[in-house]
Amino acid sequence: MTDDIGKNFLAVNKRIAQACEASGRELWPQLLAVSKKHGTDKIKQLLQLGQQAFGESYVQEGVQKVEALKNLDITWHFIGPIQSNKTKLIAENFAWVQSVDRMKVLSRLNDQRPAKLPPLNVLLQLKVGDESTKSGASQEALLAMVVALRTMKNIHFRGLMCIPPPSVDSTVQKSYFSEVLALYKQLQSTEPQVDTLSMGMSGDLEAAIQMGSTMVRVGTDLFGQRPG
């Protein structure tokens, strides 16, 4: 087990390196280790190997891990669907939230971010690939949130996140990512602090890196299949 995580970590970093080289990129995307449904022992193993950012998708499970590992130097990202009655727990426990897709959730996070903590880093999730995707904001709704963000003092707006429908065809993957890249570039011209484009998972990180991703979120290929 221990060996697997070490090997997986090397293999994922190698894929990232090769994808960067293939697309002529010098700057590597950040790697977010998606630890949902995996235990804290595995998180500690990866932390020892130098991985520092971890992502969780379920509020209760995520908060338990944040609590259990609070003495360790981990940056926690919330990346799952957000019910509005869970925003307080998220605002109190995470450094980043990547899955904000509606105004109500955004303004609750701003109101509920504790004053003693630094502003909450937020990515807005753009809906891509209509039919099969449940979560994410339309471009229009997202732009309305961008305007609102300009006056939200407890939130640091950092950029965009997307979860395209799964596809094994890299041409299809790239067409989804290029939509998101276009909006990201547009935002950077009016919101100078925007610096994060979170796209790419185990199955499509090469395509995402080619299309300008600055953060890939990898679960399965680091930790193995999720139990349950």
Ligand X SMILES: *Cc1c(COP(=O)(O)O)cnc(C)c1O
Query: What are the residues binding ligand X (CB under 6 A)?
Result: 34, 36, 57, 79-80, 163, 201-203, 217-221
Nearest approach, Cβ of residue 147 and ligand X (Å): 25
Nearest approach, Cβ of residue 52 and ligand X (Å): 17
- Give me 154's structure tokens: 């407890």
Instruction: Tell which residue, 22, 94, 31, has the closest CA to residue 58.
Output: 94
- Whichever of 152 and 201 has its CB closer to ligand X, that residue is 201
In the chain, the N- to C-terminal Cα span, in Å, equals 18
Nearest approach, Cβ of residue 55 and ligand X (Å): 7
Element (H, E) at 216: strand 215-218
- Whichever of 93 and 99 has its CB closer to ligand X, that residue is 99
- Whichever of 111 and 169 has its CB closer to ligand X, that residue is 169
Nearest approach, Cβ of residue 218 and ligand X (Å): 5
Element (H, E) at 75: strand 75-78
**Residue 13: Cβ within 10 Å count:** 16
Nearest approach, Cβ of residue 189 and ligand X (Å): 27
Q: Is 132 left (phi over 0), alpha (psi -120 to 50) or beta?
A: alpha
- Whichever of 1 and 115 has its CB closer to ligand X, that residue is 1
Measured distance CA(148)–CA(165) in Å, rounded: 28
- Whichever of 109 and 208 has its CB closer to ligand X, that residue is 208
- Give me 121's structure tokens: 């880093």
Residue number closest to ligand X, CB atom: 219
